[in-house]
Amino acid sequence: MKNKDGILQRTNLGLVKKRKAHRIHSDEIEIGPLQLRLMLGDARVEELKLLTESFICHCTVEPQKLVNFKSYLNELNDVSLKGWCSGCEIRTGRYIKTGEGKGIEKFANRMRKLNKG
């Protein structure tokens, strides 16, 4: 059941109220689109496009894309993409494991210094 703002609320089926904003964890820092491309490298830019076009959402609109997303770097040097489904405008995201890549730690530490200060 939805309230006047179109947000799901708890019903006897067990649905809970959806948040309108993404949760940003204390270990995450926002990185810009250029920083994300530099971090992923040329080889993974096409993979990024694929990741923003394939995710799980329960709406039936095709094609679905991750839109208006922001990128966040966490303490494991992995990247979270947090955005919205283009079909139903529900919060969604993707997680990219980049922390084990060669040379990522040095690059990630530089981005942390640039973005925090």
In this predicted model, what pLDDT tens digit does every residue of 3-40 receive, in sequence order? Answer: 555 555 444 444 445 556 777 777 788 988 888 888 88
Tokens of 53: 């076009």
Side-chain-facing half-sphere of 60: CA atoms under 13 Å: 0
Encoded amino acid at 102, one letter: K
Longest dimension (CA), the chain: 51
Encoded amino acid at 12, one letter: N
pTM above 0.75, yes or no: no
Strands (E) across the chain are located at 29-31, 66-73, 79-85, 91-96
Among the listed residues 112, 72, 65, the one whose alpha carbon sits nearest the alpha carbon of residue 95: 72
In this predicted model, what pLDDT tens digit does every residue of 56-112 receive, in sequence order? Answer: 777 777 888 888 899 999 989 898 999 888 888 888 888 888 877 777 888 888 888
The domain spans of the chain are 29-116
